[in-house]
Amino acid sequence: MKQGARVRNIIDLALRISRYNLKIIFANKFIYFLLASFLFFLLVTVIIFFNPDSDPHADTIYNTLLFPGILLVFYPMAFGIQNDVDSRMIEILFGIPNYRYKVWIVRMVLIWLIVFFILCLLTVLSAVSLVNVPILQMVYQLMFPIFFLGSLCFMFSTVVRSGNGSAVIMVIIGMGFWIAGGILAQNRWNIFLNPFITPDNQAAWAGIVFKNRIFLTAGIVLALLYGLFNLQKREKFI
């Protein structure tokens, strides 16, 4: 009986934390970023569909879905802490030892799941309307740069403690990465590397993609750890 009650309490706590974080994620302007991602996808899809000269392949779909995915992760990661501060929830989080880490870890998991399922939907629509692509593989590859940029966004939000400030920094960094991507092209250091490009040397290309994903994974882990470390500094947020 005690074990059953404990399990029910854990489930109830998890549901409460999830509901709270879903309210934070979908609060304020997230709906605009969600609509913008869908509108961008629809616009590009319509242009490609009605262009008689277009010949879309998997690499085209990857590039089409990358920007909507970044839009989806941008707002909740940049403005999450500011929303906590504005609602005075941050004071409660810091009042319970280590609770803020659980809240933010759950929040990030929910954000990744939301982005994953929306990208699955968009990929299915692309497969139906443009060209057949491996849906799960496409979304899996898309999540690396999206995770990376989202983790950087979270890290900077713990440094500047302002959603607007984090947004400005990420726009500048994003533009820098985009320009560098044009220069680096098929280099492993390009965070926007498109793994669905068909190269001349398949074996060498597979190695480049693998090293690129390792680099992005390391960046994700470091950014998240540094962001969580910054959340220890109570005086910076209250």
Q: What is the tens place of the pLDDT at every residue in 16-47?
A: 767 777 776 666 677 888 888 889 999 998 88
Radius of gyration of the chain (CA): 20
55 phi and psi, to 5 degrees?
A: -140, 75
Percent of the chain having pLDDT more than 70? Answer: 80
- Give mean pLDDT, residues 221-232: 86
124 SS3 class: helix
> Which has more confidence, 150 or 186?
150
User: pLDDT band at residue 97, thresholds of 50, 70 and 90?
Assistant: low
Containing 57, the helix (H) or strand (E) segment is none
30 SS3 class: helix
pLDDT at 179: 81
- What is the C-alpha separation between 16 and 225, in angstroms, rounded? 25
| Residue 194 near residue 173, CB atoms below 8 Å | no
pLDDT exceeds cutoff 70 at 101: no
Q: What is the tens place of the pLDDT at every residue in 115-145?
A: 999 999 999 999 988 888 899 999 999 999 9
- What is the C-alpha separation between 51 and 9, in angstroms, rounded? 56
**Domain ranges (residues) in the chain:** 2-237
